[in-house]
Structure 1
Amino acid sequence: MGERPLVMSCGDPSGIGPEIAAKAWNAVGRACPFVWLGDPQHLPEGVAFRVVDDVADCGGDVLPVVPVTFAAQARAGHPDLANAAGVIDAIRRGAELVQSGAARGLVTCPIHKAALKAGAGFRFPGHTEYLAHLAGVDRVVMMLASDALRVVPVTIHIPLADVPKALTPDLLEATIRITHAALIRDFGIARPRLAVAGLNPHAGEDGTMGHEDREVIARVIARLCAEGMDLRGPLPADTMFHGPARARYDAALCMYHDQALIPIKTLAFDEGVNVTLGLPFVRTSPDHGTAYDIAGQDVARPDSLIAAIRMAWEMGA
């Protein structure tokens, strides 16, 4: 095997992760080699695999697996708290492999955060924060990316009522800087163009619909534009995502979760990729959850995971 492979953490084995990992291997495993970190007993019945000790040993025609110990067999659609420690260990081992240089990037399959908290005392809001902890990074940024659109929510999993207070100049500036640097380093865009949404309807309409757009967002944009960044905004969010508007920027920064995720899930529901910016290594994941309701039925589509694999492979080049 000439090039370093990707590594893929298994996610919750009671969800669709093992199923879509096997489907993704069949679709792109030769073009974008990856090694699966998990318990091979959790793979769907009949999936061909081989156990490897070294991620470099990823050639061949069947899914290479680095075994991870789990306490229990998995039942599709029914998370077992006894398996929480195994799920966390797979993520940790994946991060170690990519940080050591053995792997090209890390692709993570979906987890169930409540199960990890209840089963193993997981103290992080999700993958992103845990990976930042493992990497020793203070601040990272979540990007959702597809061929049609890249979006970055500045505030993420907080109540909408808490967004105005959370939207500080420091947070906005740091998010813009991390996004700008990642577009250059990871996506090969020499001079990124960033569109920045307003918080309020019509971007506040000169203060008549809220002051945050003028007093926080516009001031940060002006300061960074003076440094030479190509920023536009604050822009009314309702006119940012049609085709001609999207052609004018490389990524859109949005002020809260749904402002970012509604447009990308409308445009690319099955192909969206979650990318963590600001880590010292490449990390992507599919933009969906464990899908317990369809786990084990062989109906889960691997499109988003395949897109995450392809994007991680390109970013890790």
Structure 2
Amino acid sequence: MRLINPKIDFAFKKIFASSDSKDILINFLNAILYEAQPVIEDLEIIKSQPGNQTFGVDTQLDVKATINGDRIALIEIQVINVPSFGTRVLYNAAKTYSLQLTREERYERLKTVISLKIADFEMFGNQPEFLTRFVFKEKEQQFDYPDTEIELVFIELPKFTKELAELETTADRWIYLLKNTSTLDTVPETLSAVPEIEKALRMASEDKFTEEELNELQNQELWIEDQQIAIELAKEQVTKAAHLSLILRQVVRRLGTIQPETENCIRQLGVQELQELGDAVLDFQQQSDLTAWLQANPI
């Protein structure tokens, strides 16, 4: 059985927000938010409206649901670390909270908003935990604001490193599914032991998708790959520019003014070569040392 990648926007919605996904979403949210306790007994999946987006990476929510009639859950999976993602998360949660009331309604009718974001990248570099939750707290004493009506929950998939044999909780199994489904050839028993997860994996089978849907999935995956390559290239260019500026300053301080053709040779070096030149320049005594190094390290 070939399984699709649930991290792709289209597939994620198919599994968690289709007409037959109610029990899947209830089990998933209870596992992630409430340690698998049956806190969520019922929910209503609300069809999301298109936003300003390309393949679901800007303002559109993947899944929106009203749970137990008194809370709103916003669920989104994000593969690319786009600029201001954290700000967007807060904006969407605050917008959802504020737009609940008309002018005639009272604040008592406001529902709590829980925004659950699944990121396929690290957001909090100094935090080792893969699951984090944020609520309003007093800054010094750290007690909760009495009316905490907005909660932000983040799952950082790269930080989840458990293997199949190490999965302990239902939350572990769901996160493993999100991270690794597309690499599985069969459905492991430790996952199929949870009926809702077994159902989700069945829904992730390629034979459950039409040819048109599979083409859409492939297009989204290709687009994401292109964006990730573009981001890596941009990072490399920024890194190279920073190294180049530093190395040129070091060379001038060490050896004085250099010839334009020599500077041009330095500008052609890659990041690794620039780092090596940065180490070597400390031992240079004269211009000929730089020339000899460049000749020994051709582009």
TM-score interval w.r.t. the shorter chain?
under 0.3
Provide the TM-score with structure 1 as the length reference.
0.22
Between structures 1 and 2, the one with greater helix share = 2
Structure showing greater radius of gyration is 2
Between structures 1 and 2, the one with greater strand share = 1
